[in-house]
């Protein structure tokens, strides 16, 4: 089966159109005011309503409160929540129960010991996003266009579906799949011409390169 691709950080109707044409499986919207990809709830609603059936709509939040999640989930039609902050396993379970949506927990990897956190989240999340750890002092906890050493997870098996993220591009995605065995890929910076500016041709190239791998 062709790998499933998530394009994260869509903020314009043209981005959604490009994702819809590309064959990507997931469309991600970032709710993080410091991000160049941040969307308001009203923007996200408009964009989510454009997403065709069969493409899962994912809201990415960082240490969100119930009030923030209440507002997002009440107004934006969603298929999944992506938790990209320091949410504990207990908070992941709480969010999953409160909103009745599948939850994907992002975990940053830079060294072997970072993988030790995964089992506790496997038990409570629907999916795990194995991402590059943001450098100390980085303004963003993700979406930095940095990859990690893929050999750290070569041959790893988890009990829940998982996605590989971090510094993926149309040029390196085939190698990333070969090294890690990932069958789901998440990309943001690698399909942009500048922070927050998604390029339709790069989205198309990325999905095609993943599918050909
Ligand atoms: O994209 C952002 O601006 C962002 C802000 C806050 C938390 C996470 C964020 N992005 C996460 C992602 O887009 C992806 O899940 C992943 O980290 C891959 O990003 P990239 O390395 O840019 O492909």
Look up the ipTM and state it. 0.97
Is residue 54 over pLDDT 90?
yes
Paired strand residues for 200: none
Q: What average pLDDT does this structure show over 120-147?
A: 95
> Which member of 114, 131, 186, 205 is catalytic?
131
- Taking only the tens place, the pLDDT of each residue in 173-193 is 999 999 999 999 999 999 999
Token couple for 189: 């910076």
Helix, strand, or coil here: 141? coil
- Residue range(s) defining the domain that contains residue 66: 4-212
Does ligand 1 come within 6 angstroms of the Cβ of 195?
no
Q: How far apart are CA 28 and CA 143, in angstroms?
A: 12
**pTM, two decimal places:** 0.96
CA of 52 to the centre of ligand 1 (A): 22
Q: Is residue 126 annotated as part of the catalytic site, yes or no?
A: no
18 touches ligand 1 (CB under 6 Å): no
Q: How many domains does the chain have?
A: 1
Phi, psi of 203, rounded to the nearest 5 degrees: -60, -45
CATH code for the domain of 176: 3.20.20.70
Residue range 56-82, pLDDT digits in tens:
999 999 999 999 999 999 999 999 999
Confidence class for position 45, pLDDT limits 50, 70, 90: very high
Mean pLDDT along residues 156-178: 96
């Amino acid at each position: 089966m062709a790998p499933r691709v998530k394009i994260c950080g869509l903020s314009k109707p043209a981005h959604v159109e490009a994702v819809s044409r590309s064959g990507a499986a997931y469309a991600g919207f970032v709710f993080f005011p410091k991000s160049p990809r941040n969307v308001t709830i009203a923007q996200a609603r408009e964009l989510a309503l454009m997403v065709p059936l069969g493409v899962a709509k994912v809201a990415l939040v960082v240490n969100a409160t119930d009030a923030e999640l209440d507002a997002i989930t009440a107004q934006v039609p969603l298929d999944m929540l992506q938790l990209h902050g320091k949410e504990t396993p207990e908070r992941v379970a709480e969010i999953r129960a409160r909103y009745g949506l599948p939850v994907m927990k992002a975990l940053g990897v830079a060294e072997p010991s970072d993988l030790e956190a995964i089992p506790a989240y496997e038990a409570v999340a629907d999916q795990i996003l194995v991402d590059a750890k943001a450098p100390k002092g980085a303004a963003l906890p993700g979406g930095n266009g940095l990859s990690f050493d893929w050999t750290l997870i070569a041959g790893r098996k988890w009990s829940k579906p998982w996605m590989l993220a971090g510094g993926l591009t149309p040029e390196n995605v085939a190698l990333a799949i070969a090294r890690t065995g990932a069958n789901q890929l998440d990309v943001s910076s690698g399909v942009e011409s500048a922070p927050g500016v998604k390029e339709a041709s790069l989205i198309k190239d990325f999905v095609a390169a993943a599918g050909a791998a």
